[in-house]
């Protein structure tokens, strides 16, 4: 069985739990047993190293922003509990500083658990060099408007041409959360154009998964990614929230998670514009703050219809108006 994992999926490993990374390590064992051949184009390796620091930075900034700012009125200072709390605060601040220092060291040394997992997979993978021929074919593909990718960007085209050139016929799983590979009619499905091209070139079907957990479920069900399941459950709870209290509770849990896929981002956005237990309290700090985090930096993958509805809701303070004319720019 042949497998391709796109750059965005590798980068999501930095948001996985330690247990999930242990599960991912099982893939390396399966590869060693020759049950799966993982193909890694040189373009993917370059994209991964180019985007690694930016991906980690988001999580690191979240940790840096956590502070235990205890405020005590003067009348507390005669009590022993005040001294206890001050001591605990100092211990928290020291442990926080120590954790940041160790994390920074491991980030620089590329020895995070996610780094080790990715390195292990890369070492056992079959690498595809970016030849001059692949670059020329990719440039022609982009210049003539053929998918994947966008005008002026060769990355996706290089990956696709690399896979066409190197992968033999046989079962092939393609794992990516990149919308450029999806059908414009249904983003849960692969591009019909690319699918037909693959079948014509290889004589076999391409099987598309937007998430690695979906691939494992289909092929190796014993490998389970618990953090992905947690995200899916919480997003479904948010969409079906029947009270303001439930909305606040679910958002507090979601806000502690990072690394949402484009499908998950759009499911959250859809919940915001379709559930009145969310959009009615859009101005509440936690509700507003979370959707700001979702929107910033993700404009390219977010559904524009949902974004328009969200802008109207925010403009009219929680009232979903039908008229979408004269909309103001989004506040993100």
DSSP string covering 232-275, please?
HHHHHHHHT--SHHHHHHHHHHHTT-----HHHHHHHHHHHHH-
User: Same domain for 232 and 208?
Assistant: no
Please compute the mean of the pLDDT values over residues 177-184 and round it to a whole number: 90
For residue 83, being part of any structural domain is answered with no
User: Same domain for 285 and 205?
Assistant: no
Q: Which of 304, 247, 316, 299 is nearest to 270 (CA)?
A: 304
Please give the pLDDT value at position 32. 87
Higher pLDDT, 262 or 190: 190
For residue 78, being part of any structural domain is answered with no
Q: In the chain, how many domains are there?
A: 2
For residue 301, being part of any structural domain is answered with yes
Kindly give, in sequence order, each residue whose CB lies less than 8 Å from that of residue 284, ignoring residues fewer than 6 positions away: 248
- Please state, in angstroms and rounded to a whole number, the distance separating the CA atoms of residues 199 and 178: 21
Residue that terminates a domain, selected from 184, 219, 254:
219
Residue that terminates a domain, selected from 193, 219, 245:
219
User: Same domain for 24 and 132?
Assistant: yes
User: Same domain for 239 and 164?
Assistant: no
User: Same domain for 295 and 168?
Assistant: no
Residue 133 pLDDT class (50, 70, 90 cuts)? very high
For residue 103, being part of any structural domain is answered with no
**Omega cis (within 30) before 80:** no
Domain span including residue 245: 226-315
Question: Hey, what are 316's tokens?
Answer: 């009219």
At residue 209, the 3 state secondary structure works out as: strand
Mean pLDDT of the chain: 88
Residue that terminates a domain, selected from 164, 187, 219:
219
- Please state, in angstroms and rounded to a whole number, the distance separating the CA atoms of residues 194 and 192: 6
Please give the pLDDT value at position 2. 96
For residue 323, being part of any structural domain is answered with no
- Please state, in angstroms and rounded to a whole number, the distance separating the CA atoms of residues 37 and 213: 18
DSSP string covering 114-174, please?
HHHHHHHHHHHSEEE---HHHHHHHHHHHHTTPSSS-TT--HHHHHHHHHHHHPPSS-EEE
For residue 91, being part of any structural domain is answered with no
- Please state, in angstroms and rounded to a whole number, the distance separating the CA atoms of residues 254 and 293: 11
Query: What tens digit of pLDDT does each residue of 153-162 get?
Result: 899 999 999 9
User: Same domain for 239 and 212?
Assistant: no
The domain that holds 41 is classified in CATH as: 3.40.50.1010
Contact assessment for residue 225 and residue 114, using Cβ atoms and an 8 Å cutoff: no
At residue 111, the 3 state secondary structure works out as: coil
- Please state, in angstroms and rounded to a whole number, the distance separating the CA atoms of residues 52 and 118: 11
Residues pairing with 209 in the sheet: 175
Please give the pLDDT value at position 181. 94
206-209/126-128 β-pairing = unpaired
Long-range own/partner contacts, residues 199-204 (CB < 8 A, 24 or more apart): 201/164, 202/167, 202/168, 202/169, 202/172, 203/169, 204/169, 204/170, 204/171, 204/172
| 0.75 surpassed by pTM | no
Query: What tens digit of pLDDT does each residue of 36-87 get?
Result: 999 999 999 999 999 999 889 878 887 888 888 888 898 998 999 999 999 9
Query: What tens digit of pLDDT does each residue of 261-290 get?
Result: 888 899 999 999 999 999 999 999 999 999
Residues pairing with 126 in the sheet: 39
User: Same domain for 269 and 172?
Assistant: no
User: Same domain for 167 and 241?
Assistant: no
Please give the pLDDT value at position 330. 45
């Amino acid at each position: 069985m042949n497998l391709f994992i796109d750059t965005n999926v590798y980068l999501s490993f930095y948001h996985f739990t330690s247990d999930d990374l242990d599960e991912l390590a099982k893939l390396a064992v399966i590869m060693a047993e020759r049950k799966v051949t993982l193909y890694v184009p040189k373009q993917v390796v370059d994209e991964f190293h180019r985007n690694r620091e930016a991906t980690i930075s988001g999580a690191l900034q979240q940790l840096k922003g956590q502070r235990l700012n205890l405020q005590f009125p003067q009348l507390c200072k005669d009590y022993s509990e005040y001294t206890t709390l001050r001591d605990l605060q100092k211990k928290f601040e020291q442990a926080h500083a120590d954790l940041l220092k160790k994390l920074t060291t491991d980030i620089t040394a590329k020895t995070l658990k996610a780094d080790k997992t990715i390195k292990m997979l890369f070492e056992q993978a079959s690498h595809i060099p970016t030849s001059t021929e692949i670059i020329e074919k990719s440039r022609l593909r982009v210049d003539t408007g053929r998918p994947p990718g966008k005008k002026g960007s060769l990355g996706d085209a290089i990956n696709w041409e690399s896979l066409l050139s190197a992968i033999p016929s046989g079962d092939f799983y393609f794992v990516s959360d990149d919308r450029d590979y999806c059908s414009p009619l249904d983003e849960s499905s692969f591009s019909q154009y690319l699918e037909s091209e693959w079948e014509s070139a290889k004589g076999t079907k391409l099987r598309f998964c937007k998430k690695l957990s979906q691939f494992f479920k289909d092929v190796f069900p014993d490998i389970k990614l618990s953090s992905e399941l947690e995200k899916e459950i919480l997003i479904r709870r948010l969409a079906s929230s029947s009270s303001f209290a439930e909305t606040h509770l679910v958002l507090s849990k979601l806000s502690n998670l990072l690394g949402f896929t484009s499908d998950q981002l759009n499911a959250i956005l859809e919940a915001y514009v379709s559930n009145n237990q969310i959009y009615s309290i859009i101005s509440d700090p936690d509700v507003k703050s979370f959707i700001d985090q979702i929107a910033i930096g993700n404009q390219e993958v977010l559904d524009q219809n949902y974004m328009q509805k969200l802008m109207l809701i925010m403009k009219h303070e929680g009232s979903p108006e039908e008229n979408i004319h004269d909309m103001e720019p989004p506040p993100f």
